[in-house]
Chains A and B, each alone.
Chain A
Amino acid sequence: EVQLVESGGGLVQPGRSLRLSCAASGFTFDDYAMHWVRQAPGKGLEWVSGISWNSGSIGYADSVKGRFTISRDNAKNSLYLQMNSLRTEDTALYYCARASGYSSTRNCFDPWGQGTLVTVSS
């Protein structure tokens, strides 16, 4: 069974850092690009970042560029999101999602994890 399990969320003060992880299982991890998508409470979906199968292509939403860093460890079947200089507007449920192919574009997302909640508040 294909599974994505996010972890690392929690309550953090503005300006601090947090590192999210996504553990993948049930498929050949390095055959696929991976993405982070977030959803603020009661709001819609916002793509955050994506990374190609070999980390050769990486993209970020303007809202997180320069503050967040996506990475992956294919040997560990894991995806990461290092979030620095967190702001209150980063408060959201962060989903890990597998792309339908190896590229960070021209693909869709399936499956999605259940998400990990990040709350940025003083």
Chain B
Amino acid sequence: DIVMTQTPLSLSVTPGQPASISCKSSQSLLHSDGKTYLYWYLQKPGQPPQLLIYEVSNRFSGVPDRFSGSGSGTDFTLKISRVEAEDVGVYYCMQSIQLPLTFGQGTRLEIK
């Protein structure tokens, strides 16, 4: 199984400041089709997860451009350029290159 490791597990950020979350996979997520199957989700309090980023760096519909994803192979990063109060919640990375699909442990973002 592919293990997804996120760091840090928690973040406390002042509004307007940047934030960064790392996600490392135990195997490469680059498929022979040229795509890398790494995704980012945000679970806001009391809600189901919502998709933020697909295939490493593509913002999903309606996601603000302060969110960006980067990385390749086994190392990935989610960045928030300027954190806003509505960004609080738990961020998860997920791989879907092979079954079983696996998630990172989650990174809790709170506002200072």
Stretch binding the partner chain, chosen from A7-15, A20-28, A41-49, A73-81: A41-49
A62 within 8 A of partner (CB): yes
Interface size class of B (residues with CB under 8 A): 20 to 34
B83 within 8 A of partner (CB): no
Distance of A95 Cα from B33 Cα, bound (Å): 29
- Taking CB atoms, residues of chain A closer than 8 Å to B103 are 44-47
The one of B31, B33, B49, B54 that contacts A45, using a Cβ cutoff of 8 Å:
B49
Interface flags, A52-88, vs B, CB<8A=1, else 0: 0000000111100000000000000000000000000
- Known contacts: A45-B92, A112-B48, A113-B48. The answer to whether A105 contacts B101 by CB under 8 A is yes
The dominant DSSP class at the B interface is loop
The one of A44, A47, A95, A106 that contacts B48, using a Cβ cutoff of 8 Å:
A95
The one of A44, A104, A106, A111 that contacts B106, using a Cβ cutoff of 8 Å:
A44
* Nearest CB on A from B106, distance (A): 4
Pairwise interchain contact A106-B96, C-beta atoms closer than 8 A: yes
- Taking CB atoms, residues of chain A closer than 8 Å to B35 are 106
* Nearest CB on B from A47, distance (A): 4
Pairwise interchain contact B48-A110, C-beta atoms closer than 8 A: no
Pairwise interchain contact B49-A59, C-beta atoms closer than 8 A: no
The one of A44, A50, A60, A106 that contacts B97, using a Cβ cutoff of 8 Å:
A106
Pairwise interchain contact A104-B49, C-beta atoms closer than 8 A: no
Distance of A39 Cα from B56 Cα, bound (Å): 24
Interface flags, B90-112, vs A, CB<8A=1, else 0: 10101011111111111000000
Chain B residues proximal to chain A, CB less than 8 Å: 1, 31, 33, 35, 37, 39, 41, 43, 48-51, 54, 60, 90, 92, 94, 96-106
Can you add 6 more A-B contacts, CB < 8 Å, to A59-B99, A105-B101, A109-B41?
A: A44-B106, A47-B102, A95-B49, A106-B31, A109-B51, A115-B48
